[in-house]
Structures are given as structure tokens and as C-alpha cells.
Amino acid sequence: MSSPLGKVGSVVDSLSASQARRVLLAAQGFGRPTATATRPAGTRQLNLLFDRIRLLQLDSVNVFERSHYQPVFARLGHYDKSVLDALTFGKATASRPRRCIEYWAHEAALIPLESWPLWRWKMDALSRRDPERYDWARNNQAMLQWLREELASTGPISAREIEHDANRRTGPWWGWSDVKQGLEMLFRWGEVVSAGRTRFERRYALTEQVIPAQLREREVSRADAHLALVSQAAQALGVATASDLADYFRLKLVDVRATIAELADSGELVPVTVQGWKQPTWLHRDARLPRRIEHVALLSPFDPVVWDRQRAERMFGFHYRIEIYTPEPKRQFGYYSLPVLVDDALVGRIDLKTDRHARVLRVQSAWHEDGLEAQAGALGALAERIVPTLREIAHWQGMEAIIVVGRGTLSPAIAAELRH
């Protein structure tokens, strides 16, 4: 857990590298007591976390677990994934209103429903630009209109369920049919939204079928939307450069710099220097600096702590590349290696696979970062910290055993600790 020192945004003008890491991790919700299987985190904790980090990136890879589930476990500990499903993909009711919606924020991501109006400027810009830039959008206006009418009559539906002669894939993987391309185009423009997912397959609906009228009718200027989004990014990161703030929601740097000036004038952002950082840096006025952070977690490749690879290297000295698309003989660390956070450092990476048929969590490989091997007993001590988290992960995944099957400099120590 973290040891609090309190708000620092108005009282410091410089941070050490370690302090900057602790500011980030505290802003992201690390360092708090984690939930267990007997006392899992519930809806309240998930809502509070979502208010803090503002988005969960989606990704289809499921070799260990889908990406949007992982950041929640990394911060809160044990929780029932169905609770998150109800907030994100479940059917909204009067007693349980929709909490999240999907849009291209950072990448494809879940964002708070109330944030949807903040993206209308982007939707409107894309709806004007796409027909000029893309032949498909320009040449398939009849298909787009047919899809609007189809959704109006059917309500939420997956692309696969739509009956049309043009609903045929044009190739493997991303070889989308014209129906799928049309739905995705309308999704970009804000005319269509996701009404949820079934087995991770998006169900499309017209915006008025999902988004409440008060949100659809709320007008937010581009400038005000950027002000809100940069403010959210600054709160979620704690300490950041302009590039860091731009990356969080994938905003244009020139727009973010103009917004930073306004937030600095209001006192929400405070200039600060960070040891080893070369770019001008900003601290959010509500940022907290714990004296220490005690936390062990395996991070998704799409976790906000590491999704900006340059920032991860600057903050943690951690060079990280996901190797999903790397041919197996050329992989260095594994297909789905997860950065290992211990306290305020990234100390290694573990390639995990959930074998759902055998009910086994497989450690395909495990590696420590350079330098640890020179410290007597360091690998054993590190494994002693990591293994309880691996056991919690296995329990959360419904697995009955953990097997170390792969290579790596940390694998022997983890295997030995698992035998204790």
C-alpha cells in the first residue's frame, strides 16, 4: 500500500525520478489495499477507478485475458468480471443505467458515458473528412443509408447478424465486408454506437437508441472538449509532459499545448522539473506524492502506465515492445509478456497463458531486468514478492494450478517459490 504525503501540486517545483514514478502510480490508483477472493472489489470500487483513469483500452487478444479486464485487477485485486461487464457491455436499465460507452479515445476504448459529448468535435470532423479522403465512404453512400435504416428497424445487432449480399468478408482477419466497413464508418462519425458486446462481438445501434437525449443534445466546443480531456489526462497521470498529455487521448500536440497554457493560467497545472526529463513538465494541482508505494502487479501491454512506450522508458528505464506480431523465432521475451510492477519499479516481464481447458495458468517465460542478478538473493526475493500475485491471478482466472513451462532468467526462481 502507499504511505501518503498529501497533495504536492502547489508545494513543489522539482521531483526526483522516483518521486515522479510514485506520483504517476498514485494517480493511477496503485498502492491501495487490494481485494481478495473472499472480499472482492465491487461496483463502487470499479466506478471510482474508472473515474480516476477515465478509459480502458480494448483489444481482441485473449491468450491470458482481454486487455480491459487486466488494469482493474492490477489496481484493485480480485473482482468478478461480470461486474465490469454489467458496467460496460451489459444492457442498460432504469435501475442500472449505462456507465460506459465505446469510442476511439487513445485507441478503441471504454470511456465514461458522460464523456461522449467531449468527442463530438472529432466525430463531426471525421464525418466531414472521411468522404473526401476515403473512396469507400464516398462511393458507398447508399450502403450507409441502408445501414441507418436497418438499425432503425432492428435495434442493436452485430455485423454478422445483418443480412445483406455485401456482408461477405474480403479476406482473413481485417478483411471486412462492406457491411462491417459501413458500420465502423458510422461509428467513427458518432451516428452509430456500441450497445455492448456479446462474446466480444460489438452490437451496433443508432446513437439515439443508446445515448440519453441530454447527452446527445449537449453541445461542447472543440476548445472546451480539449480543456476537459487534457484536464482528465493530467489527473490520470499526475505528472506529465505535453506529449504525455496528448498521448493519453491521442490528441494533437498543438491543441494540447494551447490547452496547457489555459490550465496553467488557472492554476490547475503547475510547472515542475523532473530528474532526467528534458521536456517542460506539468504537475496536476491535486497530484499526491506517497512516501512509498507497496504494490505488486502484472500490467497489460495496454495499461496506461506502459502503453506509451517512450514514457515507460523515460520513467522506469523499461524498454518494452509487445511481440504478438513478431515471428516466434525472433521473439525475445514471449508472445504476451506482461511488465511486472513491484512497488515503484518495473522489474521484469512474464509471458502468461491461461489454459482454460486444462485449468492451468502457464508461465511461458519470466525475465528480470538487468542488474538484479548481481545482487545476492535478489531473484529469490523478487520471486517471493511475485508468486502470491500469480496465485491471486490464477484464482481470479478460475485456474487450479500454475505451471512454469518456459524459459527466462526469472523462471527458475518462480518455479522454486511455487514449490514452497
Q: Over the range 2-34, which residues count as b (16 or more CB within 10 Å of their CB) and which as e?
A: beeeeebbeebeebeeebbbbbbbbbbbbbbeb
Give 375-410 pLDDT, tens digit per residue. 668 999 999 999 999 999 999 999 999 999 979 999
- Answer whether 192's CB lies under 8 Å from 104's CB: no
- Answer whether 406's CB lies under 8 Å from 353's CB: no
d(CA 4, CA 112): 28
Q: Which amino acid is at 240?
A: A
Closest CA to 191 of 130, 269, 252: 130
Q: In the predicted model, is pLDDT for residue 171 greater than 60? A: no
Confidence bin at 4 (pLDDT 50/70/90): very low
Q: In the predicted model, is pLDDT for residue 122 greater than 90? A: yes
Q: How far is CA 392 from the centre of its chain?
A: 21
User: Looking at beta carbons, which pairs linking 197-202 to residues 24 or more positions away fall under 8 Å?
Assistant: 197/89, 198/89, 198/158, 200/60, 200/62, 200/66, 201/158, 201/159, 201/160, 202/102, 202/158, 202/159
d(CA 5, CA 289): 6
- Answer whether 19's CB lies under 8 Å from 239's CB: no
Which contiguous run of DSSP H or E holds residue 88? Answer: helix 81-88
181 vs 229: which has the higher pLDDT: 229
418 HSE (CA, 13 A, CB side): 19
Confidence bin at 93 (pLDDT 50/70/90): low
Cell 511461458 belongs to residue: 364
Q: In the predicted model, is pLDDT for residue 130 greater than 50? A: yes
Q: In the predicted model, is pLDDT for residue 235 greater than 90? A: yes
pLDDT number for residue 259: 98
d(CA 314, CA 306): 11
* 340 φ/ψ angles, rounded to the nearest 5 degrees: -105, 115
d(CA 181, CA 102): 17
> Of all residues in the chain, what percent carry a pLDDT higher than 70?
93
- Answer whether 298's CB lies under 8 Å from 308's CB: no
Pairing of strands 269-274, 14-15: parallel
Question: Residues 42-46: what's their mean pLDDT?
Answer: 96
Give 135-163 pLDDT, tens digit per residue. 888 999 999 999 999 999 998 999 989 87
Confidence bin at 239 (pLDDT 50/70/90): very high
- Strand residue runs (E) in 237-327: 239-241, 269-274, 281-284, 292-293, 296-298
Confidence bin at 350 (pLDDT 50/70/90): very high
